[in-house]
Amino acid sequence: MIKRLVASLTILNYLGSLLFIFGFAMMVPALVHIFFPGPEVSPRVIGAFMVPGMLVSAIGMFMARRLPDKVPNIQDGMIITALAWIVVSLASTIPLYLLLDHSFIDTFFEATSGITASGLTIFTGLDEMPPAVLFWRSFTQWIGGIGILTFFLAVSFRGGSTAATLFSAESNKIRSSRPVPGIFNTVKIIWIIYASMTVVAFILLYLSGMTLFDAINHTLTLVSTGGFSTHDASIAYFSNFKYGAFIEYTMIFFMLMGGTNFLLHYKISHGNWRALYEDFEMRLFWFIIFASFILIGVDIYISHGHKLISSWSTFHLHFRTTLFQTISVITSTGYATRNISDPYYPALAKQVFLMLMFVGGCIGSTAGGFKVLRLGVLWQTLVSELKQLSLPPKAIIPLVIQGKIIPSREIRRICALLFAWIGLIWIGTSLTLACTDLDGWQALSGMLSAVSNMGPFFFSTPELAAFPACVKISYIFGMLAGRLEVLPIFVLIARLARR
């Protein structure tokens, strides 16, 4: 009984430490409002960020100082992870609820979508929205893109076994090597890469003609593969800019970087360029991108005919649009130069988009989805099982990827995750069909987008905003479960059920 109490108080201690740091992050948009005030500097906007931020930090400091602190086990680490994402999503909701004429569920939905870097939005009229609110949406995606607890570990300078437990609980992925010994050193390298990508992306976007405010916001949601934009038209807003094509190609490049394993970035930074084609996951990643691009492009050409190649400008536009949306979807960024629900995309193209929404990016990236490596492991498992049929019953064929044997425990974990993933999508889709007027494909695209932290779907934003609260709550649950890759959320639910 005493051990349980200490464990529970320890969980609250870590949540307090996280809230103490996150409260300061909540105050940043108040400074942004001073530099980008919109029509005028409003004390109400400043107060909506400063007051909740100070309150959250004060509560967090009290919890961190007054409650016991000990190293959590992996189960407690998963509970800390699940609660951390829920609590931070709730804290992120406060400024939106205070400033916008939306219900609590709507603002909670938007805040969760931001912090999980999902990119689903129920807000319209972004072009007229207060700059501080737009920045907050972007900033939450940038923080959440690399991981809430990864952000906490980097800022708090916590290392050792505590960092190892929290990092493992949040990064619940198939085991892979670390770039350097020590969790804190690994976190530090991840953040150096992430910050470097942010700086370079900002410079390129700003030089390409974006305003300072647009460049800042789109940089934050680009490298995090979050996809929030400051305009209702998303990236199509910039299509008529002088360097509109350069903006799109810049975004394609950084979406690919965000969707690639950060360990690969580390190898490349040390001169190992061969990792781009020698790595098993990257080879499969390139294949999926190339095959999807060809299928979508050919399907559009068959549907729209010779008009697409009548001139270089129309062909280039078709090429650019197809490539941009392919990369945007597979990396779970969700930006749009042309909405994927547009009639421009025929049925086969939309089917391919659904497949890409499920697969997502690479392990160890900011992208969502089931992940390319897991798909590769399942494919190799199928191949091994087929080979096994032609061998004696006692013969054993180990599953070897990249020169390493994949333990059967990892394969079982991937299969369990796949089952949970499909189950969540099915439940959410069924609830959407029962409570809305969407057809089957539209309902599937919505819940798949939520669980895979994607953003795009086959219906309109106003239709999403009009969903009943129960459907929005299922999407919120899906976004959190998908971002944490299910297990921490299920561990939390199991703990609550036992209580």
Would you state the pLDDT for residue 312? 82
- Could you tell me which residues are beta bridge partners of residue 405? 400
Q: Shortest CA distance to 475 belongs to which of 463, 152, 487?
A: 463
CB contact burial 51-63 (16+ within 10 A = b; e otherwise):
bbbeebbebbbeb
The Cα 226–Cα 145 span in angstroms is 7
Would you state the pLDDT for residue 174? 43
Residue 472 has pLDDT above 80, yes or no: yes
Residue 110 has pLDDT above 60, yes or no: yes
Would you state the pLDDT for residue 40? 63
Higher pLDDT residue, 180 or 201? 201
Please report whether residue 252 resides in a domain.
Answer: no
Residue 114 has pLDDT above 70, yes or no: yes
Q: Shortest CA distance to 251 belongs to which of 270, 236, 267?
A: 236
Q: Hey, what are 137's tokens? A: 């949406």
Share of the chain above pLDDT 90, in %: 57
The Cα 488–Cα 7 span in angstroms is 16
- The predicted model gives 254-260 an average pLDDT of 94
Q: First vs last Cα of the chain: how many Å apart?
A: 12
Contact assessment for residue 417 and residue 451, using Cβ atoms and an 8 Å cutoff: no
Residue 314 has pLDDT above 80, yes or no: yes
Please report whether residue 416 resides in a domain.
Answer: yes
Please name the residue that has the structure tokens 């779970």. Answer: 332
Number of domains in the chain: 1
Contact assessment for residue 86 and residue 193, using Cβ atoms and an 8 Å cutoff: no
Would you state the pLDDT for residue 154? 59
Higher pLDDT residue, 496 or 173? 496
- The predicted model gives 204-227 an average pLDDT of 95
Contact assessment for residue 292 and residue 300, using Cβ atoms and an 8 Å cutoff: no
> At CA 170, angle to CA 273 and CA 432, rounded to 5?
105
Contact assessment for residue 30 and residue 132, using Cβ atoms and an 8 Å cutoff: yes
Task: Choose the weakest-confidence range: 1-15, 124-138, 281-295.
Answer: 1-15
Please report whether residue 466 resides in a domain.
Answer: yes
Residue 158 has pLDDT above 60, yes or no: no
Q: What is the DSSP track for 57-115?
A: HHHHHHHHHHS------HHHHHHHHHHHHHHHHHHHHHHHHHHSS--HHHHHHHHHHHH
Q: Which secondary-structure segment (H or E) carries 317?
A: helix 312-330
The Cα 447–Cα 432 span in angstroms is 8
Please report whether residue 53 resides in a domain.
Answer: no
The set of residues, in sequence order, having a beta carbon less than 8 Å from that of 12 and lying 6+ positions away, is 63, 67
Residue 180 has pLDDT above 60, yes or no: no
Q: What is the residue range of 414's domain?
A: 407-498
Please report whether residue 107 resides in a domain.
Answer: no
The Cα 323–Cα 249 span in angstroms is 9
Please report whether residue 450 resides in a domain.
Answer: yes
Please report whether residue 272 resides in a domain.
Answer: no
The set of residues, in sequence order, having a beta carbon less than 8 Å from that of 3 and lying 6+ positions away, is none
Would you state the pLDDT for residue 78? 82
Q: What is the pLDDT of residues 326-366, one digit of tens each?
A: 999 999 999 999 999 888 999 999 999 999 999 999 988 89
Q: Which secondary-structure segment (H or E) carries 442?
A: helix 440-451
Please report whether residue 494 resides in a domain.
Answer: yes
- The predicted model gives 209-231 an average pLDDT of 95
The Cα 386–Cα 380 span in angstroms is 10
The Cα 217–Cα 193 span in angstroms is 19
Higher pLDDT residue, 353 or 314? 353
Q: Shortest CA distance to 479 belongs to which of 443, 439, 438, 447?
A: 447
Would you state the pLDDT for residue 74? 76
Would you state the pLDDT for residue 64? 84
Q: What is the pLDDT of residues 228-254, one digit of tens each?
A: 999 999 999 998 888 989 999 999 999
Q: What is the DSSP track for 215-265?
A: HHHHHHHHHTT----SSTTGGGGGTTSTTHHHHHHHHHHHHHHHTS-HHHH
As a whole number, the mean pLDDT across the chain is: 87
Task: Choose the weakest-confidence range: 182-196, 257-271, 447-461.
Answer: 182-196
Would you state the pLDDT for residue 491? 79
Q: Up-side HSE of residue 283: CA atoms within 13 Å toward CB?
A: 9
Q: Shortest CA distance to 149 belongs to which of 213, 84, 98, 211?
A: 84
Would you state the pLDDT for residue 468? 95
Q: Hey, what are 314's tokens? A: 């129309």
423 CB neighbour count, 10 Å cutoff:
12
> At CA 371, angle to CA 204 and CA 450, rounded to 5?
80
- Split at pLDDT 50, 70, 90, the class of 152 is low
- Which of the listed ranges 34-48, 243-257, 477-491 does the model predict with the highest average pLDDT? 243-257
Would you state the pLDDT for residue 175? 45
pTM score, two decimals?
Answer: 0.91
